[in-house]
Amino acid sequence: MSSRSEAITCEFCIALQVRVLYCITGASSLVLKPKTTDDVSRIMAHCDKRHLAVVPQGGNTGLVGGSVPVFDEVVLSTALMNKILDLDEISGVVTCQAGCILETLDDHVAERGLAMPLDLGAKASCHIGGNVSTSAGGLRLIRYGSLHGSVLGLEAVLASGEVLDCMSGMRKDNTGYDLKQLLIGSEGTLGVVTKVAILCPSRPAAVNVALLACNSFADVLKTLQKGKAMLSEILSAFELIDSASMMAVEKYLHLRNPLSSGEFYCLIETSGSHAGHDEEKLTAFLDSVMEEGSVCDGTVAQGITQQKDLWALRERVAEALLREGYTYKYDVSLPTRHFYDIVVDMRRHLAGAAVLGCYGYGHVGDGNVHLNVTTRQYDADVGHRIEPYVFEWVRGRHGSISAEHGLGFKKRDFIHYSKAASAVAWMKRFKTLMDPNGILNPYKTLPE
């Protein structure tokens, strides 16, 4: 079996070092597809004994090279670990193997009036084990919180082959250290997640999607604050598309912006249990923000097709920018008041550079901005003007240089911009304790 990506040998990697930083491909001469936890345990024990490096791989949808072999690591794919083991309809807890695809799980729990507590663009192919290992965020974190809250139980195989059993279907369990939390977001460097138990909320009976135009980012902030207050418990997404990003989806993907003008576009979604109440709340909110002038134009989707069309304007920005040329992608968290400052500042900073555009979009409700810069083709000079400038900028505002994409291979050496030296030192100590031979997903997460 072979990995789906092209080969990069050690020499090749060094030769293409700069390119590798922006576009991760990798190869392995061995891809193993275990079916059970015991299979994983035996694989890990064997590899640990022989000091063979292993890359755990789920749906391979990550954006920082976390699931890609760097040299010749053995790929351990969870593709065949796809059994749904249990669904407790009363508590709403679904238990499954790590290789279950997020969308498959969501369809399964939907039959019982439940929803998975996360949703992301890659849902049709990403594995829940990968979601948990990378602490995936996504579109509805504003409503359902992070996986640190919704993962109730976890089983992982450690580097030695030992099975760490932290499985529980209980919402409350205060019996000692919550070890599973260390695995959530550790990108497969501490263990291979093999099973999870996740709390699912009630599936909303009614969903509304609106697109609103604002003339300034100050108006976006006013709209966000009013939305949190007036839509409160039914607010399930508050996303931003700047006018440059909107023009990109119109130009490259021929999508239609239903609003006539605006510097910023807010995509707002409500999800609730009562269609009439939700519509009333949304209408009152829209009346209020139009009246006070923070929103200059807006539309509410009529039916699912229109909802999908509005969502496409936000979800397909990255795809549109790929058509423009090479994209320098940054996924950062900032205090919400600085959310868009980074885009404005980057435009100023890159004035005169061979840059096609500088774009800002993302999860403004969570303070998570996707900053994208495009050039006709990869340009090392532009890269060096952006980095480490962008990371220093984020550090200066106490933000995070990786809000939801993780560190993987691409960003591990920038960890110091977001983590204190003491925290990085402790990460290394935990890594050494749990994986003394360093076989689990080497060259990822931890800095050189």
Say which residues have a Cβ less than 8 Å from residue 82's Cβ, sequence separation at least 6.
97, 99, 100, 101, 104
> Which string of x and - marks every residue 348-367 that binds a second copy (by CB under 8 A)?
---------------x--xx
CB closer to a second copy, 74 vs 434: 434
294 binds a second copy (CB under 8 A): no
Q: Is 293 among the residues that bind a second copy (CB under 8 A)? A: no
Tell me: does residue 418 bind a second copy (CB under 8 A).
yes
In whole angstroms, the minimum distance from the beta carbon of 159 to a second copy comes to 13
Burial (Cβ within 10 Å: 0-12, 13-18, ≥19) of residue 177: exposed
- Of 184, 282, 343, 371, the one binding a second copy (CB under 8 A) is 184
Instruction: Return the DSSP state at 400.
Output: B
- Residues 212 to 231 in contact with a second copy, rule: CB under 8 A: 221, 224-225, 228-231
The 149-168 contact track toward a second copy, x by CB under 8 A, reads xx-----------xxxxx-x
61: left (phi over 0), alpha (psi -120 to 50) or beta: alpha
Should residue 420 be labelled a site residue for a second copy when binding is judged by CB under 8 A?
yes
Which residue, 228 or 251, has its beta carbon nearer to a second copy? 228
Please, which residue, 351 or 420, has the CB nearer to a second copy?
420
Q: Using the structure block, give the residue that is written with the tokens 């749990």.
A: 434
Q: Which of 16, 18, 170, 304 binds a second copy (CB under 8 A)?
A: 170
Alpha helices in 206-242 (DSSP H): 217-230
Residue 247 CB, shortest distance to a second copy, in Å, is 27
Residue 62 makes contact with a second copy by CB under 8 A: no
Token code pair at residue 201: 């909320």
Position 438 contacts a second copy (CB under 8 A) = no
Q: Which of 107, 113, 261, 283 binds a second copy (CB under 8 A)?
A: 113
Residue with Cβ nearer a second copy (72 or 165): 165
Q: Which of 333, 385, 388, 389 is nearest to 355 (CA)?
A: 385
Between 209 and 355, name the residue whose CB sits nearer to a second copy.
209
Chosen residue from 252, 400, 413, 437 binding a second copy by CB under 8 A: 400
CA distance 290 to 297: 8
403 binds a second copy (CB under 8 A): yes
419 binds a second copy (CB under 8 A): yes
248 binds a second copy (CB under 8 A): no
Any contact of residue 392 with a second copy (CB under 8 A)? no
Provide the minimum distance between the beta carbon of 230 and a second copy in the complex, in angstroms, as a whole number: 7
Judging by DSSP bridges, how do beta strands 31-32 and 74-77 pair with one another?
parallel
Phi/psi of residue 192, nearest 5 degrees:
-100, 115
CB of 146 to a second copy, least distance (A): 6
In the chain, what is the straight-line distance between the N-terminal and C-terminal CA atoms, in Å? 30
* Number of residues binding to a second copy, judged by CB under 8 A: 92
Among 223, 333, 374, 441, contact with a second copy (rule: CB under 8 A)? 333
Q: Does 172 bind a second copy (CB under 8 A)?
A: yes
Interaction of residue 337 with a second copy, rule CB under 8 A:
yes
Q: Does 387 bind a second copy (CB under 8 A)?
A: no
What is the enclosing helix (H) or strand (E) of 422? helix 421-434
Q: Which stretch binds a second copy (CB under 8 A): 34-42, 288-296, 315-323, 405-413?
A: 405-413
Stretch that binds a second copy, among 21-29, 52-60, 249-257, 333-341 (CB under 8 A): 333-341
69, 204, 298, 442: which one binds a second copy (CB under 8 A): 204
